[in-house]
Amino acid sequence: MISLSSLMVFGATSYFYFSHDLPSIENLKNYKPPTVTKFYAENGELIGEFFLEKRKVVSLERIPNHLIQAFVAGEDARFFQHKGLDYGAILRAFLKNIFSGEILQGGSTITQQVVKSLLLTPEKSLTRKIREAILAFKIEKYLSKEEILYLYLNQIYLGHGAYGVAVAAEIYYGKSVEELNLAESALMAGLPQAPSKYSPHIHLEQAKKRQAYILNRMVEEGFISFGESLRTIQTPITIKGKQNSHIEKAPHFVEHVRKYIEEKYGKDGLYKSGLQVYTTLDLNTQNIAQEAIEHGLIEVEKRQKYPSGAPPSYIEGALICFDLETGHTKAMVGGRNFKKSQFNRATQALRQTGSAFKPIVFASALDKGYTPASIVVDSPIVFEFGNKKWKPKNYDEKFYGPTTLRNALAHSINVVTVKIARDIGIDYIRDYARNLGISSSLHNHLAMALGSSSVSLYELTKAYAVFAHQGKLFKPTFIQKILDRDGNLLEEHLPLYFPREPNDPEQVITPQTAYLMTNLLESAVQSGTGWRARALGRPVAAKTGTTDQFFDAWFVGYTPELVTGVWVGFDEDRSLGEKETGARAASPIWVAFMSKILKNKTVKDFPVPEGLEFMKIDPKTGQMSLRQGAILECFKEGTGPTQRVSSASKPTADFFKFDLNLSSKNR
């Protein structure tokens, strides 16, 4: 016969055997489950969510009492009386399920379910059940009933990716948990037994049967009256989970920010830590950008008789817009259809820029002694390297003789640009581009001056922004601030106008050079290739870009408020079609976008810094003139012409041959 002492020894031994390596329950006091990281637009509207478990942790005070009662009645009626295990409930559930032929009732208490979800594996074995029971007893001593309910209602899986009652309320009813009525609460409380079987999205009839069972249990437990249950069962329920429409709002922008978050905070930081990311995106601006891109690309397809938006004839486009005052990225379109291609053509695509690179060459020249009135002869020139020759030519294959810098940029004259680049040096131009924010590799031969190097739309647009930003390095931001799940500030990016440390942002070119470039680029709009931008009826500085065989079309420009870049082309090396230049294919998109954004906004002029002087000159000779036809030209103080050739102007000597050490690889 087994003695009492033997039983006690056996019990104690068994207890220590099963409990010696149990997980700690102390972390339950600081419950930090995986939660959803959310991205918000500038106006606070949701534009993206990232998670492994879609969960929103809410306090018990925010959960309606009838929802708590529904879960207790359905899952653990004696929750407030037992100490972790309910032996009577286990027996009742066993008998009820046997007689019904299906699982209507579970034997596990809410406390046991918390243990199973948070502390143990889902393994089905006697050992795990014993360990579960021991932990349930421990938790009941360590936590209050309210704390256990808080864990349970936030942790439980309720189907369709919903963890916790707050997200389930959104997914099934499209409302917050505080707004749930009794009918909705009872239906939700029926889900834990088998979320897929009782899903109102899939099996509404089964869900309603389960709802009736929960209401009957609430009557039995005295939570509601029989009359209330009858009225509730007749209450209509609209199942309409929230649509993830935010996914479509700015997919390339959101993906760009997502990569930054994952790189800085890791995968767990992105998918588990419930960050609140407040971005700079303006949804209205983004919508207008997407419409402008799509409409503009359809127009190109119509002209070239391509099937609209159909591979293999699928023309792509990109647009990026920065606010010049704040540095905020207001809109970014990385392509026509994010579902078809996640490749971001605004930030990831490296394309030849064509003439859109020329402003960097001309800015370099201004800092090497050239002025807007400097004369360079537009005439044939030949470069020899080995047994090969390169003879740059203009778009219209004409030559215009002596030409001022202003006219050369306005009319995008290639030969003049090449001669300037040869004079000031490719290395100087490359370093200058680096100062402006171009980080992509640039060629080491003169063709670079005509845009032979490949850069991103993002890089080129922020380089133009330096001219608009009075010569200061332009550092666009995509994020305003990031908070952790508790609302603590993790990082903040202040607007550019906010007071900063000295020399931040860095002055990379003088305000005078920056303004001269703005003034020159205004001529490109008023009398040159950027003429379509005149439609804005306000000061605009801009430049077109077209690559060989019309592979790429660019238009980058700015007003005093915004700088915007547009690119159009195929993903593969392929012509857009005859005459599809930057002026024809890209600038209409830019104009359509900027016209809507700036509509009804006050017209502003570009600010003129000190250190400049204006004088009238002959536009053909670049010399001072008071005759009819003279134009008002802008100069850095002390560099303007006199009655003779200005000493500040560069010589106009013409070269017809020049040895150039170029490899065939970099032609």
Q: What is the DSSP-derived secondary structure letter of residue 130?
A: H
For residue 463, the surrounding DSSP H or E stretch is helix 457-468
**Contacts (Cβ under 8 Å, ≥6 apart) of 402:** 375, 376, 377, 378, 620, 621, 652
C-alpha closest to that of 73 among 97, 96, 89, 55: 89
Residue 594 to residue 292: CA distance in whole angstroms: 9
Residue 356 to residue 351: CA distance in whole angstroms: 11
C-alpha closest to that of 374 among 641, 656, 632: 641
Phi and psi for 416 in degrees, rounded to 5? -60, -40
Alpha helices in 325-453 (DSSP H): 358-366, 405-410, 414-424, 426-436
Residue 174 to residue 66: CA distance in whole angstroms: 19
Range 292-318 burial, b when 16+ CB lie within 10 A, else e: bbbebbebbbeebebeeeeeeebbbbb
Residue 665 to residue 427: CA distance in whole angstroms: 18
Find out whether 280 and 329 touch, Cβ atoms under 8 Å. Answer: yes
What region does 549 belong to: left with phi over 0, alpha with psi -120 to 50, or beta? left
| 527 has catalytic annotation | no
Q: Residues in the chain, how many? A: 667
Crossing angle of helices 414-424 and 358-366, in 10° steps, is: 50
Find out whether 584 and 565 touch, Cβ atoms under 8 Å. Answer: no
- Alpha carbon dihedral 294, 296, 301, 307, in 10-degree steps, equals 10
Find out whether 560 and 465 touch, Cβ atoms under 8 Å. Answer: no
For residue 565, the surrounding DSSP H or E stretch is strand 562-569
Find out whether 571 and 348 touch, Cβ atoms under 8 Å. Answer: no
Residue 607 to residue 591: CA distance in whole angstroms: 22
Phi and psi for 419 in degrees, rounded to 5? -65, -40
Query: Which one of 185, 199, 229, 355 is the catalytic residue?
Result: 355
> Which H, E and C letters describe 592-660, residue by residue?
HHHHHHHCCCCCCCCCCCCCEEEEEECCCCCCECCCCCCEEEEEECCCCCCCCCCCCCCCCCCCCEEEC
C-alpha closest to that of 388 among 662, 2, 37, 99: 662
Residue 293 to residue 252: CA distance in whole angstroms: 14
| 355 has catalytic annotation | yes
Catalytically active residues are 75, 355
